[in-house]
Structure 1
């Protein structure tokens, strides 16, 4: 019999594996990156849907603004400041450059690159949760399913024909909200999904993305959603497998749990360690990955200690 852990443990473990994959996917290019991109970002949306509980729109917006948008703005400003200082030291800062860079901070999404390249995720995640909550509070389940189908259709139309670049990657919400919705409707029976079927779909998806990357690759930031419906199903299949593994005792490790509980801060900081520190003097991707992972964990640990001290004195 499988040894299932408390929800907080398996959630942290699955997020730990996912954020580990995020760092690896950004550093290792080629086949490894293509495979990881199939699931690493879709997973967070699926897991959020799986754990989602509808509440008042105002309450959800207020709570998530505190935990998602405020940190987003803080890190955005921090790295913008670092960028401006770097350009000033290199004598490349002009008024035109300054205001162009400032505009990119405001627009977000695909306009954010380098150490901020992953920042698109936070506003899209926030908007997807708000959209899902609004639907569940205001429409019947059948109406929600119809809306989700329309959203997914529009997402594929945009991906195939347009790839419209809007502020904060708003169009990506058309694809990520359906992933979140599938997680929500599967919460009652996810443990009963056949593991052999999941493995078969996952392996097939991995084979096809390596064999035909132009057809099956996924990159949510740039509205690349792979082969319509099939890649969507593969992303969900791998996500479910990850969750099922996390619910067993195989990965019952305090370091993975810490990694999962710190996934948000690691999401924000890891590209800074990668680009601005370790890539400057390390040539091996393996060493860059290990150093980035270690530095991100250490940073998150000290941020946790700082938060605990702040609460103790408040």
Structure 2
């Protein structure tokens, strides 16, 4: 996402008026996402899954501003789904080449029958495709949130609080009812709530007394005292508690990002490449994990998509289409 919240990648270099701490926070978040996919079990995985996806929804909510409903929705559809389908096609093409070289059959091999699952996305995409739920989910949640924000611009009003109660109930109930999630839409209710929390937090801001309760909740989530989250499958751990820990950790990361932003240029650069890293790190981990130790794999899963992101940005046309 840019400073305006329109995109998920950001510019290769900071634009005038850009909030550097946002890029730093996004950099920390995307590193946590990659770490959580390299370490697939154990305390490291649990710690990353306790907060990493909520951080991005909260950040998007903090950056949101009410915009004209139809132009905003149209802009979101074109700017988000165009890179979605292009990166999806890239990973499909790679899978058609790599799996036969390994002596396996490609994941999608029955054409044209497989077009249906590919278009459904979300829970129909596994293996190197599992991260593709995130962008459509965020896009739909942002379109809906913007529509309501245009009607109720102040997220701190009572009507917002009353509206969140049924949405929160739907978010928790839906994950118990089904795991089917076309385009990640099963997660939209919780994403909507997190967007609102982020927008409300932007109005409230940090208070000194918050440090102790936030640290306590964060430690409970990071240490495994509370169940972690899997937002892709609408598994939100213990109701309110696990998500509260994720929110606390994210807000602490935001505070840290503000503090270290002047000295954290590498993290900010990673944050500006987060869209490309988001789409491509899982395929790299999927294909290379049998052959590499975890630390080198982590380094490659971050550095290779980041390098590609920088190459894409050398071309205005490629940037427009892919980012």
TM-score (norm 1): 0.86
What is the CA distance between 1:205 and its match in structure 2? Answer: 2.2
Pick aligned residue for 1:279 from 272, 289, 298 = 289
What is the CA distance between 1:183 and its match in structure 2? Answer: 0.6
Q: Secondary structure of 2:54's match?
A: helix
Contact preservation (8 Å) 1:273, 1:296: no
Contact preservation (8 Å) 2:273, 2:309: yes
Q: Are 1:260 and 2:282 an aligned pair?
A: no
Pick aligned residue for 2:57 from 28, 45, 48 = 45
Residue 163 of structure 1 is matched in structure 2 by: 178
Contact preservation (8 Å) 1:273, 1:292: yes
Contact preservation (8 Å) 1:136, 1:144: no
> Quick one: structure 1 residues 7 and 66, their matched pair in 2 at CA, closer, same or farther if it must change by over 3 Å?
same
Pick aligned residue for 2:166 from 123, 134, 150 = 150
Distance in 2 (alpha carbons) for counterparts of 1:220 and 1:46: 13
What is the CA distance between 1:69 and its match in structure 2? Answer: 1.3
What is the CA distance between 1:271 and its match in structure 2? Answer: 1.5
> Quick one: structure 1 residues 249 and 92, their matched pair in 2 at CA, closer, same or farther if it must change by over 3 Å?
closer
Q: Secondary structure of 1:225's match?
A: coil
Residue 316 of structure 2 is matched in structure 1 by: 307
What is the CA distance between 1:81 and its match in structure 2? Answer: 2.8
Pick aligned residue for 1:236 from 220, 238, 247 = 247
Residue 217 of structure 2 is matched in structure 1 by: 201
Q: Secondary structure of 1:224's match?
A: coil
Deviations 1:182-233 (A, max 9, x none): 11011022222622221111112223xx256xxx220000110011011121
Distance in 1 (alpha carbons) for counterparts of 2:107 and 2:257: 50
What is the CA distance between 1:99 and its match in structure 2? Answer: 3.4
Residue 3 of structure 1 is matched in structure 2 by: none
Contact preservation (8 Å) 1:135, 1:144: no
Deviations 1:6-61 (A, max 9, x none): 75200000000000111101001221111111111000000010111011112211
The structure with the largest helix share of the pair is 1
Residue 184 of structure 1 is matched in structure 2 by: 199
Q: Are 1:102 and 2:102 an aligned pair?
A: no
What is the CA distance between 1:165 and its match in structure 2? Answer: 0.9
Q: Are 1:296 and 2:305 an aligned pair?
A: yes
For structure 1, list consecutive stretches of 5 or more residues without a partner in the other structure: 1-5
CA-based RMSD of the aligned residues comes to: 2.5
Contact preservation (8 Å) 1:13, 1:251: no
Contact preservation (8 Å) 2:39, 2:45: yes
Q: How many residues align?
A: 298
Distance in 2 (alpha carbons) for counterparts of 1:235 and 1:254: 25
Distance in 1 (alpha carbons) for counterparts of 2:193 and 2:169: 10
Q: How does 1:211-226 map to 2 (within 5 A)?
A: 211=225, 216-226=227-237
